Structure 1
Amino acid sequence: MPRSIRPSRRPLGTLGALFLAAALTACSGGSAGSGDSGGRNAASLPGGEPKVSVTPQQDPAGARLPLDAYAFDKDQMKIMQQAQDILTDACMHRLGFSAFKNANTYVNAGGGRGSTGIGLVDAEYAKKYGYRTGSMPDRPRDAQKQDPNEAAALYGPQDGAPARPGAPEGGCSGEATRKLYPQSGKAGTRLLDELTQQSNDRARGDSRVVAAIRQWSACMRDAGFQVKTPWELQAMEGTRWTGPVTAEEITAATTDVGCKQKSKLTDTWTAVLAAYQKTAVEKNKEGLDQEKKQLAQQVETAGKVLAEGAA
């Protein structure tokens, strides 16, 4: 009987949600809730589907896309997140939590995840880690309960609890973010985020990607897994796939990657997404160049934090 894979609805823990928000913000110094400035700056992509040439990708998880030139690279992201740790630690120590160490922000950013916008794509990675991150593959979410007073100092008031006396707005994590991303929430800081989202949405709905997903789903069904889209599996990281990596997870992951290769979904996704991003860059180069300057300023600020230990 085919195995039915359904993600649970257990939400991410506070740390998981915070890191996700920080990563999205870091892409362009913007904020997901910064008003409609991004919408005014980002031109809509053309209605027609671009011509593409689907070619085999030797390293699909590491394939460079046109919009990558306007985002933090791996080294810059490491600098930004290490600076976030330093600033957060300094604030927490100031509030009396002398033993606090914010070692989580960068824990997963350095390890290759073997994934793209269609989920897991690296066969060797799948065999070793399943759907986990390379840095901490066996650690379940929410493994440690956090002191409510510490949480209030770190994030601000939690679940109706009072704020920590002397804590900045949004807690120490909020203070660190404001120092590193001073343009966050201001007009003209969301173009990269908007274009990235537009390109991904268009690629997901592209007829060639949709056809490849149907072939992938049929392949998965033949192997005993009832899933319609790769995103169903991707959503299970941190929900169904927790604790030590199991044989079931490894089987699902390796089958997933194998079916993506067999259906050419991986190569089709990369080619189609690159085509939409290329158009996005061509139509919005001036705005993207401006955001890249802001990004460089953010990296410079973070570099000073690393050199001086504070800001």
Structure 2
Amino acid sequence: MPRSTRSSRRPLGSLGALLLAAALTSCSGSSGDAGTGGTGTGAGSLPSTEPKVSITPQDDPVHAGLPLDAYTFDKDQLKTMQQAQDILTDSCMHRLGFASFKNSNTYTNTGAERGSTGIGLVDAEYAKKFGYRTGASPDRPRDAKKQDPNETAALYGPQHGAPARPGTPEGGCSGEATHKLYPQSGKAGTELLDELTRQTNDRARGDSRVVAAIGQWSACMRDAGFQVKTPWELQDMEGTRWTGPVTSEEITAATTDVSCKQKSKLTDTWTAVLTAYQNTAVEKNKDGLGQEKKNLAEQVKTAGKVLKDGTA
């Protein structure tokens, strides 16, 4: 499903391309042997047996805190980073002669405002309004305006053989802004976090208690007329079956989905199981995660300078 991890709470757009390695994939990089079990990080840090959990009702599952959340940008920091990205991008584009350019990736919301967690849609009110849509205005058609190829080349670098204007930085203005905010090869600096997020989500998906709850959820959906085996099947239809304005069919599917998650206790089970795996991951990787958090703090500091005087 498109939101398989809690890093799904990160924004889309230019910043999201850096931060969102694990909404459906994850990077490894500096995590080194994470996932190999060779150095005490990643998969080697997770228990070989299923941890004990206490499954309790979640009043607000979308915002239920998870252990790894403490090592990523919070909502205000995300906004600062995206605003800085926009300022630097706009400045570069104006320098190249596109005086009226305004970056269209301005911070609007985070995954936490989309009604979803790693198990899919869980917010009943969101489901009633927007179905499975994840944009700021889910039922608004995308801007069909054709972008000037010269502007595109300046923004992202040469595209499809179209040359960029002299003075265009490598990767275009978007790339220049990214490298200024993330000087280490343009990365957000969360390789270990992303790897642990991916691995803990994978383990939670395969946990027998989550698998059993998914089975109960599927039976509930089948009784309501929806032949689906996992929550991700419906979620993945965004952009294919769920296109254009939100329909009554989509709203029915979405609200039934959330209701069945509540009846089967799938949402509560997912949160409890994932929390247990993440607690272990944090305990075994405190030093590495702590260093990444320091790196993020430096990036926020740089972004704050951009908001203050326009330069990085």
> What is the correspondence of 1:157-168 to structure 2 with a 5 Å cutoff?
157-168=158-169
* 1:120 aligned onto 2:107: no
Percent identity for Structure 1 against Structure 2: 78
Cα distance between partner residues in 1 of 2:222 and 2:246: 22
* 1:72 aligned onto 2:68: no
**Cα gap change, 1:32 to 1:179, in 2 (>3 Å):** farther
* Structure-1 residue corresponding to 2:182: 181
Indicate conservation of the 8 Å contact 1:156/1:167, yes or no: yes
**Cα gap change, 1:218 to 1:17, in 2 (>3 Å):** farther
> What is the correspondence of 1:157-236 to structure 2 with a 5 Å cutoff?
157-184=158-185, 189-236=190-237
Counterpart amino acid of 1:21?
A
Per-residue deviation at 1:158? 2.0
Cα distance between partner residues in 2 of 1:86 and 1:64: 31
Give every structure 1 segment of 4 or more consecutive aligned residues whose post-TM-superposition deviation is greater than 6 Å: 185-188
Counterpart amino acid of 2:242?
W
Counterpart amino acid of 2:32?
G
Cα distance between partner residues in 1 of 2:187 and 2:86: 24
Indicate conservation of the 8 Å contact 1:131/1:241, yes or no: yes
Cα distance between partner residues in 2 of 1:174 and 1:187: 13
**Cα gap change, 1:184 to 1:225, in 2 (>3 Å):** farther
SS of equivalent residue, structure 2 residue 73:
coil
**Cα gap change, 1:137 to 1:73, in 2 (>3 Å):** same
> What is the correspondence of 1:1-311 to structure 2 with a 5 Å cutoff?
18=14, 20-24=16-20, 36-40=29-33, 42-44=41-43, 45-109=46-110, 112-133=113-134, 135-141=136-142, 143-184=144-185, 189-311=190-312
Number of corresponding residues:
292
SS of equivalent residue, structure 1 residue 55:
coil
Cα distance between partner residues in 2 of 1:73 and 1:108: 12
* TM-score for the superposition, normalised by structure 1: 0.86
Further displaced range: 39-48 or 188-197 = 39-48
**Cα gap change, 1:72 to 1:184, in 2 (>3 Å):** farther
Indicate conservation of the 8 Å contact 2:15/2:82, yes or no: no
Per-residue deviation at 1:43? 3.2
Per-residue deviation at 1:141? 4.2
Cα distance between partner residues in 2 of 1:91 and 1:49: 51
**Cα gap change, 1:144 to 1:107, in 2 (>3 Å):** farther
Cα distance between partner residues in 2 of 1:204 and 1:158: 39
**Cα gap change, 1:185 to 1:175, in 2 (>3 Å):** closer
